Amino acid sequence: MEFINLALILIGFVALALYLKKPKTNAASQFEEKDSRILVLEKEVTEKNTTISNLQKDLQIAAAKTQNFEQIKHEKTQNDERLKLVELERNSLKSENIAYQKAEEGRQKEVSKSIESALTLQKSLENEKARLNDERVQEKADSFEKMKQKWSNHERDVQTHLQLICKNNVITYISQEEFPHPRNKPDSAIEIMDQLVVFDAKSPANDDLSNFPKYIKNQTENLKKYAKHANVKNDLFLVIPSNTLDVINQFHYNIGDYNVYIITKDALEPIVLSLKKIEEYEFADKLSPEDRDNVCRIIGKFAHTTKRRIQVDEFFAREFLDTLTKAGSQLPTDILKNVIKFESAEKLNPPMEKRNKKILTKDLKEQVDKLEKEMEIREIPKISAPNKL
């Protein structure tokens, strides 16, 4: 637009110059014409100056706009570069995001597998725990059944064992049917110096042993029906199962006219042998007070030693059972399996008892002496036993 205006101005000046070069016929008219023409030209010059001024302003504005445009163009270039960097960063972040997503998917799969393995292991452990618990329950049930079976066979076992003792030591055994007094008949009895020594077997009625001591106490009072006979010795024995000893607190009852001793089947033989020792005297009055005390002391020693041994065995049996229970519940499964495997491979061979073979005290002493020598060789300190058990 500015160039067009400049062209028009130049054309105007050219026309004016051509007009001024023409010859004039009349000077006045020419002056007037020139004045008018000058006025016109001045007016046009003024207009052109105004136009030029406007065009200069426009040029300034255009230059400013051009400078602003260059700045904008430069900013656009910078923005384009930043945009490229942003796109590169976005693509990098997108790639990292994809990698993270894949890693997360892999991690989720691993977590799922781990959870499945954990659930499988937990289920396996629960099944193993349930199996062990069932085994323990079954073991307790089997143990209780064996205990009940033992209690139910207790009377017959006592009779059989007492018969064997009497046979091996030439002592007269009196069965329940052979007991000379009618109505009230004990399970077993033996004859020592024309006197009947009563052995009556007693066992619990059920698994609740809390009432067993009271039952035994009542039975000691019921033995009066045997003790009232003149040919019945006033020392009577109640034979109880060895696994009930831990609930018994009193093992001797003095009922006035007679005494009752609470013993187990294991104590039968030493007691019977002690009673037979008395029979070696032809008459009871030949026993001196010292001999009587010695006999009583030996019987008491046998009874107390037997009871104490049974108590100790019962204590260690409970401790061993508790240890076995803890081993089954606290040991890791793989170790427990190996323990069971080694346990199955082990075998104990205790000495067998033969019917006609006697257990000699001499042999027992030799074995004890041999053990003491081995302890000295191995430098194992000896534990001195207390005087009283």
Helix (H, G, I), strand (E, B) or coil at 379: coil
What one-character-per-residue DSSP string does 204-231 give?
-SSS-GGGHHHHHHHHHHHTHHHHTSTT
pLDDT at 389: 37
First to last CA, the chain: 136
Strand (E) positions, 152-292?
A: 172-175, 188-192, 195-201, 235-240, 252-254, 259-264
C-alpha span between 351 and 353 (Å, rounded): 7
Helix (H, G, I), strand (E, B) or coil at 128: helix
pLDDT at 388: 43
Instruction: For residue 51, count other CB atoms closer than 10 A to its CB.
Output: 17
Low-confidence stretches of the chain (pLDDT beneath 50): 24-25, 282-283, 385-389
The answer to whether residues 248 and 240 touch, using CB atoms and an 8 Å cutoff, is yes
The answer to whether residues 284 and 193 touch, using CB atoms and an 8 Å cutoff, is yes
The answer to whether residues 113 and 105 touch, using CB atoms and an 8 Å cutoff, is no
C-alpha span between 308 and 318 (Å, rounded): 15
For 254, list phi and psi in degrees, rounded to 5. -100, 105
C-alpha span between 292 and 335 (Å, rounded): 60
The answer to whether residues 161 and 133 touch, using CB atoms and an 8 Å cutoff, is no
pLDDT at 239: 92
Largest CA distance in the chain: 208
